[in-house]
């Protein structure tokens, strides 16, 4: 094998962490996400809940219709991040390169460490054992010649599974008569396009390559390669500066038609974006405003800016964008910065030479927060750090909505 890739994927991660910490939840249909009666979706759920047809990204109202007896909980993102750090520390120890996909998922290049399939198998079993013994959770692991094959393998025997796909031929033999959606990147809309042309299985993709490419362009070329087991991508460690944008958004429990409130919420969202940008030493060269209206129509509006990582600037640019959108009831609002660059790639600005300019911006942020405290009778003193936690942010925004 020219390349040996391990894909590790935790089993129902959020739910499993909660069950580990509260054994009374074991064996029960646990649904992590929004609560019944709230707007939102399922983040993840236990395997007991999946027996009722509940799955990730399902509307929470539909989840409750299918499983009213389920136990519903908000996610504790900070706890999951802490556990994720422990997991990746274990996994990364066995790889020459580790590509983090999510809190609970990663690709590991173990070519040098494993040398062959048997060595990779030993590493995979060690990872599974250490994850269980040291973290108290189970994971599913796939070993293969490519990233796509490794991910496919890890999903093959879930939960707590292990599977190998040593060669492209093994991949094709496994997938040939499966639905096109079993291939990486083929989602519902892409599948519907293929179905309309009688392309329903991986075999059909192989036999109708020209049609697939004509229908889907570059994506069709990629899917056609996958149908033959071809995936030459390398495991590439994630770098924050490789992200396309940094953003934060919130969904209101009731539609908001008060655009003054939206501007106030954008203060908190801009602070969240600033914090993450500064954590990674990144600057945005543009600001994007996102709105989803009551009828589920979403829009984005963007402005190019000078390099910024300051909440005051992000907020000011977002408000300029907000002032020029259609004024209708809003379900979701978000802000992000894009065209990211690090300190080393950022052009020097006049602000860099005048510390008073930066001080003015810091003072502006302080005034913005003081205005929110006065308007909504909030108290950020000593508690501002909690705003960056998703659950606290949502609760604060809902409090503001009810007390405008």
Q: What is the pLDDT of residue 328?
A: 96
Q: Does the reported pTM lie above 0.85?
A: no
pLDDT confidence band for 298 (50 / 70 / 90): very high
CATH code at position 6: 3.30.70.270
Q: In what order do the strands lie in the sheet with 139-144?
A: 97-102, 105-109, 5-10, 139-144, 162-165
Query: Is the distance from CB of 275 to CB of 384 less than 8 angstroms?
Result: no
Which pLDDT belongs to residue 240? 66
Residues 263 and 323 occupy one common structural domain: yes
Q: What is the pLDDT of residue 131?
A: 97
Let me know whether 154 and 186 are in one domain: no
- Where does the pLDDT of residue 124 fall: very low under 50, low under 70, confident under 90, or very high at 90 and above? very high
Instruction: Say whether both 269 and 335 belong to one domain.
Output: yes
Q: Which CATH number fits the domain that encloses residue 380? A: 3.30.1490.100
Residues 269 and 290 in one domain: yes
**Same domain, residue pair 73 and 213:** no
For the residues 277-292, what does the mean pLDDT come to? Answer: 91
Report d(CA 254, CA 212) in Å as an integer.
43
CA–CA gap between residue 69 and residue 67 (Å, rounded): 5
Alpha-carbon distance 165 to 144, whole Å? 5
Is residue 16, in this structure, part of any structural domain at all?
Answer: yes
Averaged confidence pLDDT in the chain: 91
Residue-wise pLDDT for 40-98, tens only, equals 889 999 999 999 999 998 999 999 999 999 999 999 988 999 999 999 999 999 999 99
The answer on 124 and 26 residing in a single domain is yes
* Domain end marker among 140, 163, 186: 163
Q: What is the pLDDT of residue 382?
A: 62
pLDDT of residue 354: 45
Q: Please report which confidence band the pLDDT of residue 1 belongs to, taking 50, 70 and 90 as the band edges.
A: low
Cα(75)–Cα(345) distance, rounded to whole angstroms? 36
CA-wise closest residue to 97 among 236, 217, 247, 305: 236
Residue 235 domain flag? no
User: Any catalytic annotation for residue 156?
Assistant: no
Verify that 148 and 48 share a domain, yes or no. Answer: yes
Percent of the chain scoring above 90 in pLDDT = 73
CA distance 78 to 66: 29
pLDDT of residue 343: 57
Return the sign of the alpha-carbon dihedral for residues 310, 312, 313, 314: positive
Asked if the model's pLDDT at residue 403 lies above 90, the reply is no
The answer to the question of residue 233 being in a domain is no
CATH number reported for the structural domain that contains residue 214 in this entry: 1.10.150.20
Q: Are residues 219 and 262 in the same domain?
A: no
Q: Which of 105, 164, 274, 317 is catalytic?
A: 105
Higher pLDDT, 37 or 256: 256
pLDDT in tens, 366-385: 888 888 988 998 887 666 77
Is 276 part of a structural domain of the chain?
Answer: yes
pLDDT tens readout for residues 19-52: 999 999 999 999 999 899 888 889 999 999 999 9
Q: Do 214 and 146 have their domain in common?
A: no
Q: Tell me, yes or no, whether 205 and 340 share the same domain.
A: no
Domain count, the chain: 3
Classify each residue of 62-94 as buried b or exposed e, where b means 16 or more C-beta atoms within 10 Å of its C-beta.
ebbebbeebbbbbbbeeebeebbeebbebbeeb
Question: Do 194 and 343 share a structural domain?
Answer: no
Name residue, tokens 């009213």: 68
Residues 69 and 204 in one domain: no
Tell me which residue range forms the domain holding 24: 1-163
Which residues have CB under 8 Å from 228's CB, separation 6+?
Answer: 168, 172, 206
Position 138 in a domain? yes
- Residue 391 pLDDT: 78
| In-domain check, residue 232 | no
In this prediction, residue 323 carries a pLDDT of 96
Q: Is residue 115 part of a domain?
A: yes
Residue 357, pLDDT score: 57
Q: Considering the domain boundaries, does residue 234 fall inside one?
A: no
Section 116-136 average pLDDT: 96
More confident residue, 382 or 191: 191
**176: number of Cβ within 10 Å:** 15
Q: Are strands 330-338 and 139-144 parallel, antiparallel or unpaired?
A: unpaired
């Amino acid at each position: 094998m020219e390349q040996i890739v391990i894909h590790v994927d935790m089993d129902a991660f959020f739910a499993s962490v909660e069950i580990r910490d509260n054994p009374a939840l074991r064996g029960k249909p646990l649904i992590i996400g929004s609560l019944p009666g709230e707007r939102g979706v399922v983040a993840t759920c236990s395997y007991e809940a999946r027996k009722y047809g509940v799955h990730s990204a399902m509307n929470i109202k539909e989840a409750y219709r299918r499983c009213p007896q389920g136990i519903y909980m908000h996610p504790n993102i900070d706890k999951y991040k802490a556990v994720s750090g422990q997991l990746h520390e274990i996994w990364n120890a066995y790889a020459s390169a580790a590509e983090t996909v999510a809190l609970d998922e990663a690709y590991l290049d173990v070519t040098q460490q494993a040398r062959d399939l048997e060595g990779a198998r030993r590493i995979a079993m060690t990872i599974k054992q250490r994850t269980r013994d040291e973290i108290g959770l189970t994971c599913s692991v796939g070993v293969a010649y490519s990233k796509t094959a490794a991910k496919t393998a890890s999903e093959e025997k879930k939960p707590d599974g292990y599977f190998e796909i040593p060669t492209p031929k093994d991949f094709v033999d496994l997938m040939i008569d499966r639905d096109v959606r079993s291939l990486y990147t083929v989602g519902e809309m892409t599948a519907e396009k293929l179905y309309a042309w009688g392309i329903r299985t991986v075999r059909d993709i192989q036999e109708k390559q020209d049609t697939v490419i004509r229908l889907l362009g570059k994506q069709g070329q990629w899917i056609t390669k996958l149908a033959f087991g071809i995936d030459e991508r390398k495991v590439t460690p994630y770098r924050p500066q490789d992200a396309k944008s940094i953003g934060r958004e919130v969904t209101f429990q009731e539609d908001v038609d008060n655009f003054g409130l939206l501007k106030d919420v954008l203060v908190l969202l801009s602070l969240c974006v600033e914090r993450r940008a500064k954590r990674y030493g990144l600057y945005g060269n543009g600001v994007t405003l996102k709105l989803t209206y009551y009828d589920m129509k979403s829009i984005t509006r963007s402005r190019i800016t000078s390099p910024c990582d300051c909440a005051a600037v992000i907020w000011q640019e977002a408000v300029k964008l907000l002032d020029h959108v259609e004024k209708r009831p809003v379900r979701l609002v978000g802000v992000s910065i894009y065209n990211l660059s690090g300190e080393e790639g950022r052009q020097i600005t006049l602000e860099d030479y005048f510390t008073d300019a930066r001080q003015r911006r810091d003072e502006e942020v302080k005034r913005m927060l003081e205005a929110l405290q006065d308007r909504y009778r909030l108290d950020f003193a000593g508690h501002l750090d909690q705003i960056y936690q998703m659950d606290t942010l949502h609760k604060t925004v809902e409090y503001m909505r009810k007390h405008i």
